[in-house]
Structure 1
């Protein structure tokens, strides 16, 4: 009898001991969201030839590798959908803030439309008593309220834009931090998983995969694992990471202080595409906010120019020709927009409000009836051939549609990501019930191998020691 049986039993003991260690590691990480369940893969050892090669005898078992139980296709799918979610979440958040600026909810009494309606009502009231200084004062106050509301809306849009710019700078810094961490993990994994070795740097891989998940939410990156086990991460076909090499993004600011992304190795600007929260923020800052600010500016300027044109055709209570009702930064008011519209300071003298068609008639308010009343129903080419009311309503409608689209996509993406996460968890997540079941199986196998070992040991003792006596 040879000692081969002992070695076979020892291999079984060691394999089951390694499997129990792996189960212990799984259970210890049951609450680690980034951890992927591991499994000890058993494989038979090479056979041994006896009787001149006519018979092969098994030599036991080896632990071939400690394998992570993950589906790389689900990882890829998750990151792709996570990129879409990051982009549309940023759009939805900003559109929600813009909606709050316009404040045109059904229960709101302070939105621009309500303030504008009060302004128009002020003209109607003045027509009834064109020489009343009290009513002129009311109109003047309502005009100031209108301009202050518009100025505040413009300031709020600017504030959102500046806050977005700060967020862009923070997210860009976060991207570079993630790239640096992934590069370091590439180095650790490559050193651990040397060529020809069965050793797997599984915990390092878990860390790296979690960082790639996080990066995919920020940028629409592509990736693959190279032959030396390092991850290559690229954006727009150019490497951000290749093994230990890292090509961080660079931020350059324009004259407004707005940051833009550039390749640090060539200095070229990184072309944006739809995907990722960082590109979403840049699009919201440079396109979405400007879109609604431009619409507001056009709306405001058209109203101001229309009112100014009307009152300049009339005369004030002192018989003088009318002056501009609204001004911007320039004396002629040609630069009026939402940020600078204001009531002409001269009109603090209420006599200066010109609504008479005849310089000799103080109570004549025909400018209001003849021109200003028509403004409310007039269609302007600047407003896409619409009236003031229809144009502004369309702006609010567009804002609602854009916000609803973003909200719907975010909701769909969250549902899809939850489904993918559940599928990943069913494969990669640690189940205490499964681990305990496996633990019992390996424990029994371990005990059985020790018993085989003891039996063979007793037989060898009997043959060698007792039979000799």
Structure 2
């Protein structure tokens, strides 16, 4: 019985020391933002059965596990919300860039340039034969052309920058997957060797990687009995044990990178999902949508003005030749924002066809050009040129505000979930000190039992049976 009691007390010493070590580790990581507090879970040892009376006796206590105090459902929800935040944050950033490219917030964008262009025709109508006014029309047309060329170039550059961003994101994702594989191995080995505290520290680092990865991709995951985490994307494994299936980039004829599975060369659908999906959608759809609208405006406006201008007569008209001079020209097919130019022939301002008769002072052709500004155009969704462009900008503003609002709402929601997570998993110095006192008292109590048994054994061995003392 005495030696059994000694064994029980010693097991209590070991268990309480492990609990105190865990508390010390918690306190030392109290300022570590990724750390999840740990707790030593005590459990009874197996009972022993006596040979006499077939009675069961307790054999002490042991540390069942060093458990992280966390709510996995909160982690799942946090990462789901981070995925949504990643998509809309990327979308908001890109739409903001598009707004800056159109530059309408400063009142010096295309709307102002278009207004100046139409106003220059009105000025020329007052003095149809004025070279100065003709030069003003030519100058305002060049400004219009250069502005839409510049917008198209900037949209091109934005798509190229987004493509680089996508390539960098894929590299970062693959690096994260490699790091998760590294921590999987460390956790498996640590727990196999009984180093639970160290294994849990590796878990904290791995969970930080899972947080980052979940913002970029719509991942699902679970932890195996070995401590390794299995990560999947669209129902297929990215990581499982020693198996890793990294993302692969395949470039199309534009040089744009698309995301494929490295093992099967199948394209991965990330539309509307995660930060990476946000950048891909923005590059391939959002930016292209506004380029297409701009091209529709530029082409329709150029075609309409050309049709009227070809019917007019220049100051150089000889009264016989049918001039049919186009005001705007393109290159390689239809006119668009990238290739529109003012006809080089109009560098001779006399070639601007403002009259219908060719007579001096005749500006009747200008009236037909000016009418175009207020005409409803079927190619432009039954809107005028100005209204169609305003619709582009207002749509852009609405979509940008939507993306920004969702992003801000997600940030608030994520902050609330993180606060709730912190209330459960963060280290509280007050709680740790209370637990420390509890385990210290328990440790001291077990020490006293050991001392008492030691004294008892000493008396039995050294004093019993000695007569005269």
- 1:393 correspondence with 2:395: no
- 1:356 correspondence with 2:355: yes
1:174-214 deviation digits (Å, cap 9, x = unpaired): 1111111212222333333349x795721222222221111
Following superposition, the deviation at residue 55 of structure 1 comes to: 4.3
Q: Corresponding residue for 2:339? A: 340
The answer to whether the 8 Å contact 2:2/2:453 transfers is: no
Helix, strand or coil at the partner of 1:193: helix
Following superposition, the deviation at residue 40 of structure 1 comes to: 0.3
- 1:40 correspondence with 2:37: no
The answer to whether the 8 Å contact 1:314/1:354 transfers is: yes
Helix, strand or coil at the partner of 1:347: helix
Q: What is the alpha-carbon distance in structure 1 between the residues aligned to residue 157 and residue 206 of structure 2?
A: 37
Query: Which of 302, 306, 316 is the matching residue for 1:318?
Result: 316
The answer to whether the 8 Å contact 2:271/2:281 transfers is: no
Helix, strand or coil at the partner of 2:250: strand
The answer to whether the 8 Å contact 1:322/1:353 transfers is: no
1:217-264 deviation digits (Å, cap 9, x = unpaired): 111111122343322211111111111100111101112110001111
Q: Which deviates further from its counterpart, 383-392 or 265-274?
A: 265-274
The answer to whether the 8 Å contact 1:98/1:157 transfers is: yes
Helix, strand or coil at the partner of 1:241: strand
Q: Which deviates further from its counterpart, 315-324 or 399-408?
A: 315-324
Q: Corresponding residue for 1:83? A: 83
The answer to whether the 8 Å contact 2:238/2:245 transfers is: yes
Query: Which of 159, 170, 176 is the matching residue for 1:172?
Result: 170
1:252-308 deviation digits (Å, cap 9, x = unpaired): 111211000111111111123321111111110000000000000001111111111
Could you list the runs of 5+ residues in structure 1 that have no partner in the other structure?
none
- Regions of 4+ moved over 6 Å: none
Q: What is the alpha-carbon distance in structure 2 between the residues aligned to residue 227 and residue 13 of structure 1?
A: 30
Could you list the runs of 5+ residues in structure 2 that have no partner in the other structure?
none
The answer to whether the 8 Å contact 2:101/2:155 transfers is: yes
The answer to whether the 8 Å contact 1:169/1:251 transfers is: yes
The answer to whether the 8 Å contact 1:101/1:156 transfers is: yes
Using a 3 Å threshold, how does the CA distance of structure 1 residues 457 and 254 change in structure 2: closer, same or farther?
same
Helix, strand or coil at the partner of 1:169: helix
The answer to whether the 8 Å contact 1:186/1:244 transfers is: no
Following superposition, the deviation at residue 14 of structure 1 comes to: 1.1
Q: Corresponding residue for 1:327? A: 329
Q: What is the alpha-carbon distance in structure 2 between the residues aligned to residue 414 and residue 174 of structure 1?
A: 23
Q: Corresponding residue for 1:92? A: 92
TM-score, normalising length from structure 2?
A: 0.94
Q: What is the alpha-carbon distance in structure 2 between the residues aligned to residue 363 and residue 26 of structure 1?
A: 91
Q: What is the alpha-carbon distance in structure 2 between the residues aligned to residue 442 and residue 227 of structure 1?
A: 30
Using a 3 Å threshold, how does the CA distance of structure 1 residues 279 and 104 change in structure 2: closer, same or farther?
same
1:85-108 deviation digits (Å, cap 9, x = unpaired): 111111000001001111112xx2
- 1:251 correspondence with 2:253: no
RMSD: 1.8
Q: Corresponding residue for 2:407? A: 410
1:348-397 deviation digits (Å, cap 9, x = unpaired): 111111101112x122111111x112101111111011111211111111
- 1:240 correspondence with 2:259: no
Q: What is the alpha-carbon distance in structure 1 between the residues aligned to residue 181 and residue 303 of structure 2?
A: 59
Correspondences of 1:365-444 after superposition (within 5 Å): 365-369=363-367, 371-444=368-441
Helix, strand or coil at the partner of 1:65: strand
Q: What is the alpha-carbon distance in structure 2 between the residues aligned to residue 240 and residue 404 of structure 1?
A: 35
1:400-451 deviation digits (Å, cap 9, x = unpaired): 1111111111111111111111111111111222212211221222122212
Q: What is the alpha-carbon distance in structure 1 between the residues aligned to residue 425 and residue 344 of structure 2?
A: 71
Q: Corresponding residue for 1:450? A: 447
Helix, strand or coil at the partner of 1:256: coil
Q: What is the alpha-carbon distance in structure 1 between the residues aligned to residue 196 and residue 31 of structure 2?
A: 25
TM-score, normalising length from structure 1?
A: 0.94
Q: What is the alpha-carbon distance in structure 1 between the residues aligned to residue 247 and residue 262 of structure 2?
A: 6
Q: Corresponding residue for 1:301? A: 299
- 1:461 correspondence with 2:463: no
The answer to whether the 8 Å contact 1:64/1:198 transfers is: no
Helix, strand or coil at the partner of 1:30: coil
Q: What is the alpha-carbon distance in structure 2 between the residues aligned to residue 124 and residue 24 of structure 1?
A: 83
Following superposition, the deviation at residue 116 of structure 1 comes to: 0.6
Q: What is the alpha-carbon distance in structure 2 between the residues aligned to residue 109 and residue 236 of structure 1?
A: 45
Q: Which deviates further from its counterpart, 451-460 or 297-306?
A: 451-460
